[in-house]
Amino acid sequence: MAITSLDAFLASAKQRSSLFRTASRTAVATGWFSVFDLAGDPGAGVLAGTSTAAGVVPTDAMAGCPLINTFGGGNAGYLAQIEYASTVACRIALFDLLFKAGAYAFNANTALSAQPSFSGRVPGGTDYTATEIWVEQVTAATGNQAVNVTYTNQSGTTGRTTGATGIGAAPTLGRCWQLPFQSGDTGVQVITNVAGSVATVGTFNVLVLRRLASMRVGIANFGDTLDLLRLGMPQVFDTTAYYMLIAADSTATGLPDLEITTVNG
């Protein structure tokens, strides 16, 4: 089933979830930072990954992610509304955390095998075009940490690489940056190798994220609402691991607050 009309939307099952943080992280202005391990609702998650050899597919049951009720039999789920605010001017990006591998040492060169599939968390089980590869710094690095990821692209072509990519500075705790796809690629199915370079200290995770929404808080202590029309109702799942990144205008991530409405019908 799918929600294809306003009547179906009005009749759909709806669930509100909170995703906010009550602690701030020291940041670099305009740089993306994870706040996954900070206190709030839901409670703090654990930044360091639990598998470097295969990685894991996180779900809403993982600490740090809002729980989502099981959808009705055969129902499709959607992100229908986000009420958002923050104590600092910033950008907020909301994702589904599809895959997490780490924590890798700064100089790791690790081939992954027996990786779990996240095909059940992309539309139709085959549409990987909204997926992205990110690095999440678990402990601060010394030197310009660069990461090169080898992956299988959205069409199943193997041996694709991001190239060794850093941020031009030593990444601090929680710093995140997106890795570029090889030319012509629009998504990722499988991570097959992770290689770190340049840095001399530090650990990091490699994430596959599916972008659901982007928000801008233009003034501290301000907010807005993205309704179903502004969001476009991206499909989500009852195992979706809602995960947010913050890019503050200043040097603190502030206290971001998302009230999320998930529907299924």
Q: pLDDT tens digits, residue range 168-205?
A: 999 999 999 999 999 999 999 999 999 999 989 999 99
Q: Which residues contact 201 (CB under 8 A, 6 or more apart)?
A: 106, 139, 140, 141, 142, 143
pTM of the entire structure? 0.95
Smallest CA-to-CA distance from 19 within 212, 204, 233 is with 212
Instruction: For residue 150, give every residue at least 6 positions away whose Cβ sits within 8 Å of its Cβ, in sequence order, or none.
Output: 159, 160, 161, 191, 192, 193, 194, 195
Decide if pLDDT at 87 tops 90. Answer: yes
Distance CA 58, CA 36 (A): 13
Taking the CA of residue 120 as centre, how many other CA atoms within 13 Å lie in the half-sphere pointing to its CB? 10
What pLDDT score does 8 carry? Answer: 86
Supply 213's token pair.
Answer: 């929404």
Does residue 1 have a pLDDT over 80? no
Token duo for residue 40 = 């709030």
Cis peptide before 123, with omega less than 30 degrees from 0? Answer: no
